Amino acid sequence: MTYRGVVKGKIVELEGDPSIPEGTEVEVIVRERVRLHKGSPKLLAQVAEKEPHLTDEDVNALERAIEEGKMRIREYGVFEGEGK
C-alpha cells in the first residue's frame, strides 16, 4: 500500500483515512515529491492515465447539462428572412 503525507516535526500526517490501527509499525521511505506546473506535458500525461472517478449520476447530470445548454441551430441565413 502507498499513502501520501506531510512531515510535521517527528510526525508524518497521512492524507485521508489510511485505516491503519493505532500502534501499527510502518516503514517510511522518503521520496521527494516533484511539483509539476499546471499545463506541463508530464502533468497532462499523468492526468490522462487516471480514471475520472465519476459516478453514473455525475455522468448523467453532465449529459443533461450539455443537452440543456444546446442552442437551436438557425435553419436560414441572417439575411434570408424567417425561413423557407
**Does residue 64 fall inside a structural domain?**
yes
pLDDT band at 82; cut points 50, 70, 90: low
Q: Does 47 map to a domain?
A: yes
Contacts of 84 (CB under 8 A, 6+ apart): 76
What mean pLDDT comes out for the span 66-75? 84
Per-residue pLDDT at 81 = 62
Q: pTM here?
A: 0.35
**Cα 53 to chain center, whole Å?**
7
Nearest 10 degrees: Cα torsion 22, 7, 1, 25: -40
How many domains is the chain partitioned into structurally? 1
Residue 9 lies in a domain: no
Residue 82 lies in a domain: no
| Domain assignment present for 30 | no
CB within 8 A of 75, min separation 6: which ones? 83
**48: domain range?**
36-70
